[in-house]
Amino acid sequence: MPAHLSAIAAAQRNLAANLKRLRATRRFSQEKLAEVAEMSTAYISGLERAEARSENPSLATLAVLAVALGCTVGELVDGPSPPAATSSKQPRPTTVELATAAPLAKRRGR
């Protein structure tokens, strides 16, 4: 299998697994997610099974699903995270932390 087809298949599997996991975490049925995202239940089901007819959702479709699930598009399509390395790195700031830090930095003249 050519490398690009292998990468596409891996992305489809990631989307399928992440969509199912995120939907279950939010306690959404396929029907509820379909209703909130204004998509058909069959389409949601196909995405979760990585079916050929649902294999290439548009970026707009991924964005709608992300909003419906309260996550980012990246969370839908990213592969499994590598094991956490033990390091002294600081955790990444959240969006809220960044949003509140920017006005403070401006007031301090930074």
CATH number of the CATH domain containing 68: 1.10.260.40
pLDDT at 104: 47
Q: In whole angstroms, give the CA distance from residue 32 to residue 20.
A: 13
In sequence order, which residues have a C-beta less than 8 Å from that of residue 12 and are 6 or more positions away?
50, 55
pLDDT at 97: 54
Q: In whole angstroms, give the CA distance from residue 72 to residue 74.
A: 5
pLDDT at 6: 79
One-letter identity of residue 9? A
Inside any domain, residue 90: no
Domain encompassing residue 53: 3-77
One-letter identity of residue 10? A
CB 77 within 8 A of CB 11: yes
Inside any domain, residue 57: yes
Inside any domain, residue 83: no
Inside any domain, residue 31: yes
Structure tokens, 97: 């932390």
The tens place of each residue's pLDDT in the chain, 110 residues long, gives 677 777 888 888 999 999 999 999 999 999 999 999 999 999 999 999 987 666 689 999 999 999 999 999 999 998 765 555 555 566 666 655 555 555 544 554 55
- pTM of full prediction above 0.85: no
Inside any domain, residue 87: no
Inside any domain, residue 102: no
Domain count, the chain: 1
Q: In whole angstroms, give the CA distance from residue 47 to residue 41.
A: 10
Inside any domain, residue 56: yes
pLDDT at 8: 82
